[in-house]
Structure 1
Amino acid sequence: MIPSPIRSHPYRRRPADRDLPRTPGVELSRVAGVEHLSDPVGPELAGGGGRRRQLVGREAECAALAAAVSALVEGDGRIVEVAGEPGIGKTSLLDHVAGLARANGVQVLNGRAPAPGSDVPMAALVDALDPYLARAPQARLAEIRPDHADLLNNIFPSLRLSGARSLAPAGVPAAARQLRAVRLLLEVLAADRPLLITVDDLHNGDRATIDLLCHLLDAPPRTPLLLVVAHRRRQSPARLRLALDTAGQVTRVAVGPLAECHLDALTQVPLSAGRRGVLYDLSGGNPRYLSALLASALPAGPTSEHLELGAFPPDVESALAAELELLSTTARLVASAAAVLGPEPVDTGLLAEVGGIAAEQVPVAIDELVAADLLRPVPGGGCFAFRHRVVQHAAYLATDAGWRLAAHARALAALQGRRAAAAVRAPHLVRLAVPGDVAAVEALSEAAETVVDRAPDTAVRWLGAAIRLLPATAETAERRIALRVRLGRALGAAGHPRTARAVLHEALRMVDDHPSPARAGAILLCARLERQLGRRDEAAALLRAGLTPSDGARPGDRVALALALAGVELTSGRAGQARRWAAGALGAVRHAGAVPATVRAHALGLLAAASHLRGNRAARGETDRAAALLDATLDGDLREGPESAVWVGWSEILLDRFDSAVHHLSRAIDVSRGAGRYFPLLHLLCARILAYRCSGRLVEAAADCARALRLASRTQCRELHSVATTTAGLLDVWTGVGGTGCPPASAPPTLAPPVVGLPGTLALAAYAETRLALGDPSGCLAVASAAGLPELEPWSQVGWYELFTRAALAGDDPAEAARWATRAGEVAGRLGQPSRSALAASAAARILALRDPAAAVVAAQGAAEALVRARMPLDAAHAHVIAARALVAEGDPDRAGGALRLAEELFTRCGARLFARQANSERRRLLADAPTGARKSRRQPGHSALTKRETQVATLVSEGLTNRQVAARLFVTQKTVEMHLSHVFTKLGVTNRAALVRRVHLAGLPQAQSS
């Protein structure tokens, strides 16, 4: 029996398979088993009441496809180009548009171009149409002309048009007649019912398929046909790209990388800010690469771009292996050699030696790999690199184990002959070296030291290999200690502080048996990790123990340990102890010989910061000397000692020198690149956040918060993570979230880390400010017990007392507010710091406005001027608002409006949109209440008589009762009291409780109406 042409056709799919739509979001589901977010498309496209949801992060692309389907339903056909990198999600979009079209009653046919080398003309279109043609209405197909029927029968195996005859018009080439016949076939198929045809992998299309698409671009079908094609532009023929770019009716959908915020939806697992950022950077927002990284990245928390990969998920591995299988034998060898040489750009001169092929074969193989978009030229040199790290690893896994080992040996021999750097030889050494190879140990150790800042995970692997290779003898004890100290540093930089701490404690135990110069370094690193984990007491004890044995200790080591201990004491809130240790370190510097300028600046900065916190006015000279030393330091020296800038910046912040602090902190941040400096970089960022916040640069502060959050998450630094989190939440409220200017509905109810020391105090202060800004003064005041105010340093106490003054007034407790304001004034008087005195004066002006608005105006304006001189415009704007409200109570609306306008300008300049809106609303209300044509005229009391209930409310409020107390006294709800009080304000021409109190005491209340 002769087999049917339909069954023998190589691209014929089973009808049962063709009738089942492909699963939408297949590429995204490879990442996490999720396909869509919950955004529905418009109801006009959800035929039959169905609802379809958009793909994750593809709202714009789905909207363009939905518009094309909507136009198709209305009878308008067109061509849609979906272009993007491999694995970016083009197939998911094709599946999405197919499902959307089916829901709207459109006939959908799906096709895919086969792998290159197919000899079937128009294979992609045959794949799409052939299953449908077998069951297409014969009456409709009968309309096709006989000469076209003959051509179509030759293209589509399932098509058996009757009456076909080979009657070719004279002078028309067969290829042109074939294109015209296919176009007419498409018109016939779409005549009765709109038709959608999707073609995937068009870059693999044969010449006839490309000719057909170009023909359809020149002569579009006249019936409702939507053709959606997906391709990789890098691999597509130039004439296809040109035709798509120059055609007017093409809808172009460029599928770019996903945004970082979409990673959580794709992975369905909680990601820390640090790991989310690393995964996004490594994957480039590509779903397929993200899937591979999630499944194979070793260790579980990658922290650098040079990470080790394991096995890939089967679907990702098969997709990448399919690309490699299409290569010639020589090209596969070159790709394998390039994979062995690593993810870095490959020197083509090594490919022949590593691959074991003739040198003259390499250029042709590279051309093939570039055409397949596996390798890409590196701009500015003659090197090539894989298009992605995941592709390189797939090529590496595709090699046989024995060939791979031999290739590493050939690569190592070639690199040693070229005297390559240790970091270049290390990936091969780690696979080839045997225990006892001391030369390999030295090379791996040297290589790890060169990459620890940019690739700490790689350094961890190389140092671990070096420790395993080094023989455990008495002669190698000191070397083993040094390697463990380096390993602890690399583990800490890679985001594994607990493991690093265990390694360093092991190194310290080994030092007890074999004294080593690495002892001080191990103690310093271990103490830093203890601080990173929030264990400051343990860090201080460790540093004290390191300072105890004075015999044989090097002066430089004692200076470093003393400075570290002073820093621990200062961040723990013990400024007196910090000053003593910093002074001791400064004295030891004089006996240590030649020490870097950063060390002296570090000691002076710590000494000055501790002194300023304790209210020592004589420490300005120490700050000046430290700043001068820092300015004279070269960038390379500052990069080795960035902690000096932390404390110089802090001492300048405490002196209101915010611009100078930002300058010094920014310089240190700019040079502190690399994972090994994450911890000091976090401290630098947190100090600059405070400087930005105090100086009213809220946008810059928010940017630093985002960066600090990412670093703190990566390094598991809980305390500084808390500072960045709470400050970011506060700035979101002040500046408005997402550009809307609307604060969030709520803030975190509690703080996770214990509130101790300087970082905890900063975090708690930001949290309390957030509660107050969100309208929760009681929540703000509740923080007082957690803050431990009596134990705080004077500089911090003034800020807390001013904050609680505002909170008590917002909570209708003027007596409590007066107590807080008095405390602020007392502490500020002892401290003698201009900005602290101005903040205390601002708090006093708020209390003064309750009984003497005229004096409050003078006090608030004086505080505003002092705050402007201190470069604190945000606080100055608040002082202007206090003055404006006192002026309203004085009956001077014009001057009050001017003060509010100035406050609004300052708030806007700082980026504090919340306060700017409030000032604007208050000014507009004041203008609306002002008498027409009045200019500096005192407002006449009693616009209209009060009702009996309003008189009762006004009287009780004037006696100092809160709204809650008034409600209880009158047996009404608090909302009712607020309504009556609002009416009282309007009728009496006042805008706040202070003005109402003054109005009642000076002029009494107008006669009440009968209720």
Structure 2
Amino acid sequence: MVTRQRPLGDQGDQQRNPGWALLSRPPGRSAAADGHRRPLVGRERETEVLAAAVTALLDGEGRIVEVAGEPGIGKTRLLDQVAVVARGHGVQVLAGRAPVPGSDVPMAAMVDALEPYLPRVSPARLAELRSDHAQLLNAIFPSLRLAGARSLAPAGVPVGARQVRAVRLLLETLAAERPLLIMLDDLHNSDRATVDLLCHLLDAPPRTPLLLVMAHRRRQSPARLRLALDTARQVTRIEVAPLTRGHLDALTDVPLSANQRAMLHELSGGNPQYLSALLAAVPLPGTASELPELGTLPADVDAALATELELLSRPAGLVASAAAVLGPEPVDTGLLTEVAGIATEQVPAAIDELVAADLLRPVTGSGCFAFRHRVVQHAAYLTTDAGWRLTAHARALAELRRRRSHPEVQAPHLLRLAVPGDVVAVEVLSEAAAAVVDRAPHTAVRWLGTAIRLLPGTAEPAGQRVALAVQLGRALGAIGHPRAGRAVLHDALRLLDEHPSTHRTSATLLCAQLERQLGRHGEAAALLRTALPPPADARPADHAALALALSAVELTSGRAGQARRWAAAALGAARRASGVPGAVQAHALGLLAAANHLRGNRTAGGETIRAAALLDATLDAELGAEPESALWVGWSEILLDRFDDAAHHLSRAIDVSPGAASYFPLLHLLCTRTLAHRYAGRLTEAADDCAEALRLASGTQFRELHVAAEAMSRLLAVWTGAEQVGPAADPGTVDVPVSGWPGRLALSAYAETRLALGDAAGCLAVAATAGLPDLEPWAQVGWYEMLTRATLAEGDPDAADEWAQRAYEVAERLGRPGRRALAASAGARVLALRDPTAAAVAARAAADVLTQVGMPLEAAHAHTVAARALVADGDRDRAGATLRVAEKFFDRCGAGLFARQVHTERRRLAGASGGARRARRQGGSSALTRRETQVATLVSEGLTNRQVAARLFVTQKTVEMHLSHVFTKLGVTNRAALVRCFHLNGLAPAQSF
């Protein structure tokens, strides 16, 4: 029977399982004593299973444990760890390893384990063995010289079978004297006698305290051994699992970005050996590399893989070298034959040998073979002689050209063979780079750099150099090196001043985009203005593209008027041009609509609708080439309160974005969809978009977008309850570049986070840096509503009234229903202090409008305002029902923080109703203590908690405690309700304080 082990749980599992503590540290050893050993990373589950086996051994119970896993997964490291701890507990540990194939020593792994120990075993213990067994054991173990050995073999019993039983009895004899742990590694290399022994032990396990741990690679193990393990009655199986992404930081001192961590984990498959090689080649932090460039392998990895390769026959070694030259991608046998340079009939047997050694693996359904990992391929490449390798590349290139293979396949060989002046190689490398730039921009950078170096030194065509520079600049921007890309493109633009060509527009547009990535919006705008000729002198398509880019720069920089001007110019040029895709017109209309919305133009809705219709009519390929069209159409729809439509169009553009080369627009799309989801009340989806944006931005130099995504991510974590909020919650700090909409988005999110964490003063401090008078009306309404809440929390109703009035005035000019309702909700908060009845009506009306326009989160807040006003008005039943509605809205949005707050408020209201009735029966204020009456009176006069504390010469915390008791006794939940209850019900005493 195969024992199925449950996975490791939490710390409680460690307390319940004494084996865990056993393997953690031997008795008498401190943590410092083990400090020189590198900790075993990510092996908690496997360690727990072995811990239980060692514990059982100490209790006198023997077991057999199978440790299986891929090459390099860490089986030997796990065995070494267990051996150290077992020895510390007095267990006799013996370790053996099966030698490489070809050894003529029978039972080599067991001999390797027992030979050093047998001379130390007491003769008296060995004397218990029968004489016929002694004879057989003397023949197996050279160090044994058992006296009286003689053969008493039963007739017809093979010698091998008798030797197997003799070794089993020897193991039982040794374990009877002292608990024994025998670890046998690399059993996939086992000889026939070892396999016989292991099968016998699996069929009839020893009856003494013996723990037998068998480590092997299942894929390479003899079929008979695998069958015995699978059918054995009592085997504890450990399949050594790959490491998770979170373990990578523990394996390196180099800080890894989220993008690098994901990339390394995917490439290595969680295999520690491959991780070691990849970590040695990982680029510096701050790059978006899709593939580390492997160099010299770490010594231990190189030695392990070289050992595997050295065992190959000469034909198999040549085929392995040929496969390594052809790269990590799958290759067919015909190409292997040409590159290896051996007879065709030798190749099948060589491939069989490589597959049996698990160096090559068949690719299902293709008829091709590939190395089990690119690290193995690289090791095989390094073992080839330099001269043979160069000749093999030449043979590969000749065969690929004969087959007319894609340039992408030829490019790796040209890197090693092409010489300066080879214009054919330049063209091939350029085509290959264009094919891979979206999925492998680092590779494109390497190929394009080589192509530029190969250009002829004299009489070279300037257009070709410029075209390559534009390609290289795009690829450098995609891998997170906009400064390097900008330098390349500026050189190209200087060359274009001397040799004008059609590449100027594309070079200018790309250079401006890289300036934007660096946060240099002014430089980007200046570059585009300089490149824009008068409309009469420019090609309409070029004029439209340059004007669109300039409009986007102006809009993200907060200059909506200039953005509108350039968007209109781009739309006119696009309509004049022939063959311009509909996505370009949608782009221009979306920019125009967004600019008009931000300027407060009430007629911009028609532009948004036309832009959306054009976008819906575009093909995916057109949209993939112009993804920013969906960005601005989506923005205009958000400004029009059409959040679901915005999310739909943004999602389509994200889905068809080509890849790494579109990182910059993709980040904009993700950040904008975050807003669409946030306003539509889909906080979980918004948080997912933020996480993806952070993953992309972490490997680039897009600082503005990175900060915006980081600030939004923190806010959503607080709102959803993913980040617990307590009295001492730290709002953190943020260094926000206040330039353009990403900076303003980050500031707004940071201010909201501070307010949600209870730091209203911090929220107001952030708002003071936002330049509110210069913001667009749409943004101003949101800020003023937030400042209304913050000043109310600070106990300043006059300031709150002023902010709410500003929100109302701006929203009225803007004319958008959602903004109006948001301003009305802010006004209702202030109105509740003096007229709860009117405030409840206004808040409910605002909630209805917010629900209709699809802003459920804001609608839930408005319902909460209405409920609190109803409490102050004495209508607790309707207040409770309204709070239930708000709680449902918050739950539906995933706003766990607000849902819990409203739930607590609703329960307090239900409990307070009984308290209010008791207070009335007891004569109103007589239910309050003298100090509570003083606090309630001063609060009813409009004093803040800080002012009350100063008047009564007590601490602010004392005031808060008394005020909480007052709320409970009078059956109210907020200060406005307290004022109404205290005065209208005649509870205020005659004297004042």
TM-score (norm 2): 0.93
* 1:542 corresponds to which of 511, 520, 527: 527
Using the TM superposition, give the Cα deviation of residue 498 of structure 1 relative to its aligned residue in structure 2, in angstroms: 1.1
Change (3 A) 1:748 1:548: farther
Q: Indicate the residue corresponding to 2:377 in structure 1.
A: 392
Q: Indicate the residue corresponding to 2:5 in structure 1.
A: none
Q: Aligned partner of 1:946: which letter?
A: L
Q: Indicate the residue corresponding to 2:27 in structure 1.
A: 48
User: C-alpha separation between the residues in 2 aligned to 1:971 and 1:998?
Assistant: 26
8 Å CA contact 2:916, 2:969 repeated in 1: no
Using the TM superposition, give the Cα deviation of residue 407 of structure 1 relative to its aligned residue in structure 2, in angstroms: 0.4
* 2:254 corresponds to which of 269, 277, 282: 269
Give a deviation string over 1:78-112, Cα, whole Å, max 9, x none.
22222222222222221222233233332222222
Change (3 A) 1:612 1:758: same
Q: Indicate the residue corresponding to 1:855 in structure 2.
A: 838
Matched position secondary structure for 1:227: strand
Matched position secondary structure for 1:656: coil
Q: Aligned partner of 2:317: which letter?
A: R
Whether 1:988 aligns to 2:970 is yes
Q: Indicate the residue corresponding to 2:912 in structure 1.
A: 929
Using the TM superposition, give the Cα deviation of residue 917 of structure 1 relative to its aligned residue in structure 2, in angstroms: 1.8
8 Å CA contact 1:532, 1:679 repeated in 2: yes
Q: Indicate the residue corresponding to 1:778 in structure 2.
A: 761
User: What is the CA RMSD across the aligned residues, in angstroms?
Assistant: 2.6
* 1:876 corresponds to which of 825, 843, 859: 859
8 Å CA contact 2:982, 2:988 repeated in 1: no
Q: Indicate the residue corresponding to 1:122 in structure 2.
A: 107
Using the TM superposition, give the Cα deviation of residue 905 of structure 1 relative to its aligned residue in structure 2, in angstroms: 2.0
Q: Indicate the residue corresponding to 1:135 in structure 2.
A: 120
Change (3 A) 1:914 1:57: farther
8 Å CA contact 1:948, 1:1008 repeated in 2: no
Using the TM superposition, give the Cα deviation of residue 170 of structure 1 relative to its aligned residue in structure 2, in angstroms: 4.4
Q: Aligned partner of 1:810: which letter?
A: A
Using the TM superposition, give the Cα deviation of residue 554 of structure 1 relative to its aligned residue in structure 2, in angstroms: 2.3
8 Å CA contact 2:255, 2:285 repeated in 1: no
Matched position secondary structure for 1:80: strand
Return 642-651 or 231-240, whichever deviates more: 231-240
8 Å CA contact 2:912, 2:970 repeated in 1: no
Q: Indicate the residue corresponding to 1:289 in structure 2.
A: 274
Q: Indicate the residue corresponding to 2:828 in structure 1.
A: 845
Whether 1:377 aligns to 2:362 is yes
Q: Aligned partner of 1:984: which letter?
A: V
Matched position secondary structure for 1:344: coil
* 1:498 corresponds to which of 483, 490, 496: 483
* 2:940 corresponds to which of 936, 955, 958: 958
* 2:163 corresponds to which of 173, 178, 199: 178
Change (3 A) 1:309 1:44: closer
Q: How does 1:506-521 map to 2 (within 5 A)?
A: 506-521=491-506
Using the TM superposition, give the Cα deviation of residue 548 of structure 1 relative to its aligned residue in structure 2, in angstroms: 4.2
User: C-alpha separation between the residues in 2 aligned to 1:40 and 1:688?
Assistant: 51
Matched position secondary structure for 1:293: helix
User: C-alpha separation between the residues in 2 aligned to 1:504 and 1:318?
Assistant: 45
Whether 1:349 aligns to 2:338 is no
Q: Indicate the residue corresponding to 1:803 in structure 2.
A: 786
Q: How does 1:107-506 map to 2 (within 5 A)?
A: 107-297=92-282, 303=288, 305=290, 308-506=293-491
Segments of structure 1 that go 5 or more residues without pairing to the other structure are 1-38
Whether 1:58 aligns to 2:61 is no
Change (3 A) 1:650 1:146: same
Whether 1:830 aligns to 2:797 is no
Change (3 A) 1:480 1:69: same
Change (3 A) 1:633 1:745: farther
Return 963-972 or 301-310, whichever deviates more: 301-310
User: C-alpha separation between the residues in 2 aligned to 1:41 and 1:650?
Assistant: 59
Matched position secondary structure for 2:27: helix
Q: How does 1:666-815 map to 2 (within 5 A)?
A: 666-737=651-722, 746=729, 749-815=732-798
User: C-alpha separation between the residues in 2 aligned to 1:697 and 1:744?
Assistant: 27
Q: Aligned partner of 1:816: which letter?
A: A
Using the TM superposition, give the Cα deviation of residue 947 of structure 1 relative to its aligned residue in structure 2, in angstroms: 1.7
8 Å CA contact 1:777, 1:807 repeated in 2: yes
Give a deviation string over 1:443-485, Cα, whole Å, max 9, x none.
1111111111111111111111111111133451221111111
Matched position secondary structure for 1:220: coil
Return 538-547 or 970-979, whichever deviates more: 970-979
Q: Indicate the residue corresponding to 1:866 in structure 2.
A: 849
User: C-alpha separation between the residues in 1 aligned to 2:353 and 2:595?
Assistant: 66
8 Å CA contact 2:704, 2:743 repeated in 1: yes
Matched position secondary structure for 2:806: helix
Matched position secondary structure for 2:900: helix
Matched position secondary structure for 1:86: coil
Change (3 A) 1:978 1:594: same
User: C-alpha separation between the residues in 2 aligned to 1:102 and 1:912?
Assistant: 54
Q: Indicate the residue corresponding to 2:985 in structure 1.
A: 1003
Give a deviation string over 1:616-665, Cα, whole Å, max 9, x none.
11011111111111111111111111110100111111111111111111
TM-score (norm 1): 0.92
* 2:88 corresponds to which of 99, 103, 128: 103
Q: How does 1:588-599 map to 2 (within 5 A)?
A: 588-599=573-584
8 Å CA contact 1:733, 1:744 repeated in 2: no
Q: Aligned partner of 1:186: which letter?
A: L
8 Å CA contact 2:328, 2:371 repeated in 1: yes
Give a deviation string over 1:271-294, Cα, whole Å, max 9, x none.
222222222222222222122122
* 2:952 corresponds to which of 967, 970, 990: 970
User: C-alpha separation between the residues in 1 aligned to 2:633 and 2:529?
Assistant: 24
Q: How does 1:520-669 map to 2 (within 5 A)?
A: 520-548=505-533, 553-669=538-654
Give a deviation string over 1:833-856, Cα, whole Å, max 9, x none.
111111112112221222222222
8 Å CA contact 1:573, 1:792 repeated in 2: yes
Q: Aligned partner of 1:980: which letter?
A: H
8 Å CA contact 1:729, 1:747 repeated in 2: no
Using the TM superposition, give the Cα deviation of residue 47 of structure 1 relative to its aligned residue in structure 2, in angstroms: 4.1
8 Å CA contact 2:690, 2:710 repeated in 1: yes
Matched position secondary structure for 2:182: strand
User: C-alpha separation between the residues in 2 aligned to 1:552 and 1:891?
Assistant: 74
Matched position secondary structure for 2:239: strand
8 Å CA contact 1:639, 1:672 repeated in 2: yes
User: C-alpha separation between the residues in 2 aligned to 1:578 and 1:727?
Assistant: 26
User: C-alpha separation between the residues in 2 aligned to 1:825 and 1:876?
Assistant: 17
Matched position secondary structure for 1:523: helix
Aligned residues: 968
User: C-alpha separation between the residues in 1 aligned to 2:28 and 2:907?
Assistant: 48
Give a deviation string over 1:827-881, Cα, whole Å, max 9, x none.
1111111111111121122212222222222222222211111111122222222
Q: Aligned partner of 1:979: which letter?
A: M
Q: Aligned partner of 1:691: which letter?
A: A
Segments of structure 2 that go 5 or more residues without pairing to the other structure are 1-16
User: C-alpha separation between the residues in 2 aligned to 1:206 and 1:442?
Assistant: 55
Matched position secondary structure for 2:184: strand
Matched position secondary structure for 1:55: coil
Using the TM superposition, give the Cα deviation of residue 1003 of structure 1 relative to its aligned residue in structure 2, in angstroms: 2.4
Identity rate, percent: 73
Return 84-93 or 102-111, whichever deviates more: 102-111
Q: Aligned partner of 2:902: which letter?
A: A
Using the TM superposition, give the Cα deviation of residue 789 of structure 1 relative to its aligned residue in structure 2, in angstroms: 0.9
User: C-alpha separation between the residues in 1 aligned to 2:316 and 2:411?
Assistant: 26
Q: Aligned partner of 1:374: which letter?
A: L
Return 328-337 or 196-205, whichever deviates more: 196-205
Q: Aligned partner of 2:131: which letter?
A: P
Q: Indicate the residue corresponding to 1:34 in structure 2.
A: none
Matched position secondary structure for 1:48: coil
Using the TM superposition, give the Cα deviation of residue 300 of structure 1 relative to its aligned residue in structure 2, in angstroms: 7.8
